[in-house]
Amino acid sequence: MKFLSFWYVIVWILLVSLTLSEYFRPLTTLGIVAMVLGTAYMAWNLWMEYKIYKEEKKKIVQ
């Protein structure tokens, strides 16, 4: 899961840089959609990892 997230972040950064460059105007809409989806995906991953972390912390305390 961590490995997959790492590659996803690299692809996301690449898409952002393509979107912001002036040579890829047709990709702008696609890039914006990809940025929104990428941000949502990363936020979801962080939230899930945080929940798992809290659960494991509870188990350690008990």
Kindly give the confidence (pLDDT) of every residue in the chain, 62 residues in length, as a single tens digit, with 9 standing for 90 and above. Answer: 555 667 777 777 777 777 666 666 666 677 777 778 878 888 888 888 888 888 888 888 77
**Which pLDDT score, from 0 to 100, does residue 4 have?**
62
Distance from chain centroid for Cα 39: 5
**Which pLDDT score, from 0 to 100, does residue 52 have?**
87
Tell me if 43 sits within 8 A of 51, measured CB to CB.
no
**Which pLDDT score, from 0 to 100, does residue 2 have?**
57
**Which pLDDT score, from 0 to 100, does residue 24 have?**
61
Q: Read off the tokens for 61.
A: 């305390």
Q: Which of 50, 35, 54 is nearest to 62 (CA)?
A: 54
For residue 48, how many C-alpha atoms fall within 13 Å in the half-sphere facing its CB?
9
